[in-house]
Amino acid sequence: MLLHMSTWAEVEGFLNRSRTVVIPIGSNEQHGPTGLLGTDWLCPEIIAHEAQKSGDILVAPTFNIGMAQHHLGFPGTISLRPSTFIAAIGDWCRSLSAHGFERLYFLNGHGGNVATIEAAFSELYAEASFAGKPRGFSCRLKNWWELKGVMGLAASQFPVGHGSHATPSEIAVTQWAYPDSIKTAEYSPKIAPTGPIREALDFRARYPDGRMGSDPALATPEKGGELVRMAADGLLEDVAAFTAEANPQLAG
């Protein structure tokens, strides 16, 4: 079930059978010469939307702008600074919690978001801790590539040239979902360099075409479809486990 395609009455009905909501979260940032700018928010969205076709989960609108300051040297990248991102995540969580959602599951598509999303959770918990009150909801962050079986599948599909940015696995996922938007280019070098991540000008100087350690030419829509099916199954299993987590405040 997609929240943005539902009515308030349908969401109220969903709350009668579940208090869990899944929020795809990512980033709009350059992904090399052939990767779509939306890759990091499209991947978790594609996986969550696929999962809700076979499982009774509610998927919120995709939080599609994240922490991508290091990619701002490339046109099309849009970034929130960490403090803005923390504030926005907080208000998404407070909104959903106000309706009765108690388990807020963030399915993430951008490694650069992780530190800030975890900091946002800590800010939310701290509000309750300083007040000496229960928070009323729990948050979970999961990167889509960490869902059960996904990393092993990607390693078998791409034993060399996977890399860490503009990877063939994430590009394959978008190719499967949007075959009309597949782009091609001659990559030079074939496998991109690796190194540290700092500010935007430094990033562009180190990684001139935007890739890090990857060979996106290895991506195919078929491999993307295999990854999406594995990830969607893993998501349903992980969301069920999160939903079933005991709440010691209620048990006490």
Interface residues toward Zn ion, by CB under 5 A: 39-40, 170
Q: For residues 103 and 162, which CB has a smaller minimum distance to Zn ion in the complex?
A: 162
Least distance from Zn ion to the Cβ atom of residue 31, Å: 6
Q: For residues 103 and 211, which CB has a smaller minimum distance to Zn ion in the complex?
A: 211
Least distance from Zn ion to the Cβ atom of residue 84, Å: 20
- Which residues 6+ apart lie within 8 Å of 53 measured at CB? none
Q: For residues 39 and 69, which CB has a smaller minimum distance to Zn ion in the complex?
A: 39
CB 92 within 8 A of CB 53: no
Q: For residues 58 and 68, which CB has a smaller minimum distance to Zn ion in the complex?
A: 68
Least distance from Zn ion to the Cβ atom of residue 167, Å: 7
By CB atoms closer than 10 A (0-12, 13-18, 19+), residue 126 is: exposed
Q: Which two tokens stand for residue 182?
A: 């597949």
CB 30 within 8 A of CB 77: yes
Q: For residues 172 and 230, which CB has a smaller minimum distance to Zn ion in the complex?
A: 172
Least distance from Zn ion to the Cβ atom of residue 219, Å: 12
CB 242 within 8 A of CB 140: yes
The Cα 177–Cα 81 span in angstroms is 29
Q: For residues 20 and 175, which CB has a smaller minimum distance to Zn ion in the complex?
A: 175
CB 124 within 8 A of CB 104: no
Residue nearest to Zn ion (CB): 40
Least distance from Zn ion to the Cβ atom of residue 25, Å: 13
Least distance from Zn ion to the Cβ atom of residue 177, Å: 15
Ordered strands of the 103-108 beta sheet: 20-25, 103-108, 138-143
CB 11 within 8 A of CB 99: yes
